[in-house]
A and B are shown apart, each in its own frame.
Chain A
Amino acid sequence: MTNAKITNIRPDFALITNWVQTKAKVLDLGCGDGTLLTHLHETLETTGYGIEKDDANWLAALKNGVDVIQMNLEEGLSGFEDQSFDTVILSQTLQAMHNTESIVQEMLRVGREVIVTFPNFGYWRNRMQITFGTMPVSKSLPYQWYDTPNVHLCTINDFDDFCVQHQIQVIERKVITGGQDVHLLPNLMGNLAMYRLRKYSA
């Protein structure tokens, strides 16, 4: 991989890399063209698989040398054994899932750790647009209300509550806007939410 490619990597990918162990076995759900897995492999010598539904993305992932499984995440991860991966990643796909609750449970079943990232609907710019009477359209939510694949948008507060309700331990949470960490009023000031999760051990 060229250096240019590394520097051009999505900011959340660079942060995800910090949450993955060297030589970890990784499962990337909705892996797209496999950029993240390739990056993880080249920086951390990880192994693992990607899951991708779309033909063009699947083929692009194959060309990137990724072991990619073509399947629909909505059907769960029944082909994967319990706790068979170190880290299971779902980056910016949660909001487009129909079976949101079950995919998070499935990820926690298959992975010892789970990384989830999603656009924060509570970000002030989104709130502003709603205040002025329109659905939010932005760089992180680039769709119109009538053509959006996003069916389960949530705020950081919503997801925190979700984790409490589902006995999910938040190991780390990071909120970023324009590539910068947000510490003050994250649910208002944060554009992208990133969670590192695991099941609460009994």
Chain B
Amino acid sequence: MSESNSVGIVKAQVAHFTQPLTLKSGAVLPQYHLTYETYGELNAAKTNAVLICHALSGNHHVAGRYSADDKYPGWWDNLIGPGKPLDTNKFFVIGLNNLGGCHGSSGPSSVDPLTDKPYSATFPVVTVEDWVESQARLLDYLGIDQLAAVIGGSLGGMQALHWNIVYPERVRHAFVIASAPNLTAQNMAFNEVARQAIITDPEFFDGDYYNHGTVPRRGLRIARMLGHITYLSDDVMGEKFGRKLRHGDVKYSFDVEFEMESYLRYQGDKFAGEFDANTYLRMTRALDYFDPALDYEGNLSKALSRAQAKFVVISFTTDWRFSPARSREIVKALLDNALPVKYAEVTSDHGHDAFLMPDPYYHDIMRAYLEQIKV
């Protein structure tokens, strides 16, 4: 199969780091590795690099396929490729798996070289700040001083934002999409329920399930089902499933009765088969902890006072987990600093998931802006 505007067959790479990384928690990773992919060519002046920061369940496999018969392409393939809005004929795109992840970078399920066993529960809690630091080191490793752009949605948007707080001189353009300056109590509450589902699963063994030969599948499944509800809007669930029955009539049972249940169970099962529970705990915690204004008397404008990039902030009308109001808080902080910013509120039925979908207006925005970036 050959797709005309696909980056084609891709291969992940691994970068090893031996300089210890002190995390925000105070814990130290004496060594670690990051798995990443790149698409397009880095130009001679190294001015065309774009970093993609992934969200809760994302990874380094952003575009392309691993083989011709690979069923699904990377998670943001609709955006990235030759001739696509993020055009790999122009840009050198980098995707990585964040620390604590479960797709190749150092994380709870990877082997600790000091013990030759999975880190398991001993892998420290990581934060958005830690990720940005490790991403900066990956750029050093690749010989890139400054990014043409950093792009992230949701938790990835938090990383894109944080880049401008700690490494303002290394970012020329920042895309903060379907994101927030911190999580609301309600948003954190969903994360807590998800974590409790995992932690109370009898197969969890305090996170040491690798050494017990078990997987806390049930907990992970429920966590993902809950997540999915919050990523969709009431409208889109209504359109997609409504009250449709699975078998035509009710069975007066607790098996799947409604189509919606079938969908949630499918999503939950799929996720439980491919994601690591310890990683899920850490990703949700990273979301909870992110609050860059905290070090600046709660003032986000002050937190962003050193920023010097040009910003694109995008929200989606039916996204209630990262609502437009939260994006507008980011916009306000940028306006307060008289920073260049473009803010779009995209009308979409798809809730939080909208940021991964190829909505024409959304992609027109991405394309038009990215075309203007000089490399």
Contact = CB atoms under 8 A, between A and B. Distances in A.
Given A55-B361, A59-B365, A79-B328, A67 B342 contact: yes
A49 interface: yes
B340 interface: yes
Given A55-B361, A59-B364, A71-B345, A25 B338 contact: yes
Given A47-B338, A58-B344, A71-B345, A63 B368 contact: yes
Interface in A62-85: 62-63, 65, 67-71, 79-81, 84
A49 B335 contact: yes
B32 interface: no
A124 B365 CA distance: 44
Interface string B230-272: 0000000000000000000000000000000000000000000
Contacts of B331: 69, 79
What is the size category of the interface that chain B forms with chain A? Answer: 10 to 19
A102 to B, nearest CB: 18
What is the size category of the interface that chain A forms with chain B? Answer: 10 to 19
Contacts of A67: 340-342
A70 B345 contact: yes
Interface in B327-375: 328, 331-332, 335-336, 338, 340-345, 347, 361, 364-365, 368-369, 372
B38 to A, nearest CB: 28
Contacts of A65: 372
18 contacts: A25-B338, A49-B335, A55-B347, A55-B361, A59-B364, A59-B365, A62-B342, A63-B368, A67-B342, A69-B331, A70-B344, A70-B345, A71-B328, A71-B345, A79-B331, A79-B335, A80-B335, A81-B336
Interface of B: 328, 331-332, 335-336, 338, 340-345, 347, 361, 364-365, 368-369, 372
Query: A-B pairs with the 5 shortest C-beta distances?
Result: A79-B332, A69-B343, A70-B345, A70-B344, A67-B340
Interface of A: 25, 47, 49, 55, 58-59, 62-63, 65, 67-71, 79-81, 84
